[in-house]
Amino acid sequence: MEGVADDILRDALTQIGGFDWCVTEFVRVQDLPVPEKVFRHFCPELLNAAKTPAGTPVRVQLLGSDPDSLAFNAAGLAAMKPWGIDLNFGCPAKTVNRHRGGAALLGEPQLLHDILRAVRAAVPPSMMVTAKMRLGILDPDLAIDCAQALATGGAQELVVHARTKADAYRPPARWSWLQRIRDAVSIPVIGNGDVFTVADYHRLRDTTGCVDVMIGRGAVSDPFLAQRILGQRGFDPSPEDWEELKPRVGWFWRQVYARHADNPKRAAGRLKMWLNPLRRTFTAAELLFQTIRMVDDAVEIERVLAQQLGAAHAPALSMGA
């Protein structure tokens, strides 16, 4: 969820509730030590006992390919007391994979084992160390080997996105592999991929036996999905849900504008980046997105938000001359 699931969106979603924990965007680890300010940039929650303002714990995700570098930086990160350290072997992005990161390592089970073993040894025993993987690069032939390598290396939980790198995000996710991986390892396996509705959640659990499920794009598309899954609100989106979400959309704009006031185009892009998936769930989000799709001017965006969000929206910037 690079470029999407930053601390502002994590704050917005966890204020709504229903999440047991969340994960940062990945922090790239190369040869040099990662400065503390970089960890705090990706995870400002480190200044709040590694929890969002709503109190949801946050794990910091690392991405790299060198066991020693990852172990050294994991030790430095552990001193900052995150709620846990997650290792990324699932990112399918070409720019990441070209530099031997993310899913590009899924052809090397021994390297996965060595990375987990090095990181596990470098951090306190009480520190949670987890991993996320896909099923493979071009095919799932090594999926079991990779999962076992991560488990025996010391991962305490394993999130499996049930697609290969080549699959990208094309449906359907290959849920049947989650059951095979569960049978092959002794650690908890958390299912991931194509959970956009409560029905999807139940089908994944029934198909795979996974007790826990990670939702990414589904939560961004429907911020109430976790609550729906828990039975805390209706299973299907409603106009009332959008009314409840409107002030949070306005709040989100105010936060991204405050952070990027010197670059309004970037602030506008962050707003559109959330509205785009919200279109999947809410008709009103589609209208709002289409209205500002070609707009980068902050004053004009403010005018549109005031018009379409109405009383739910408080101004984010001065409208004076």
Does the N-terminal peptide bond of residue 237 adopt cis geometry, omega within 30 degrees of 0?
no
Closest CA to 54 of 4, 13, 82, 6: 13
Residue labelled with tokens 């552990």: 78
289 Cβ neighbours under 8 A, 6+ residues apart? 272, 275, 276, 278, 279
Beta strands in 206-314 (DSSP E): 213-214
Give the whole-angstrom CA distance, residue 280 versus residue 291: 16
Residues 11/30, Cβ–Cβ less than 8 Å: no
Q: Which amino acid is at 193?
A: G
Residue 134 corresponds to which tokens in the numbers above?
Answer: 């896909």
Give the whole-angstrom CA distance, residue 301 versus residue 321: 16
Residues 22/29, Cβ–Cβ less than 8 Å: no
Give the whole-angstrom CA distance, residue 274 versus residue 5: 10
Residue of 22, 43, 91, 210 marked catalytic: 91
Does the active-site annotation cover 146? Answer: no
Positions marked catalytic: 91
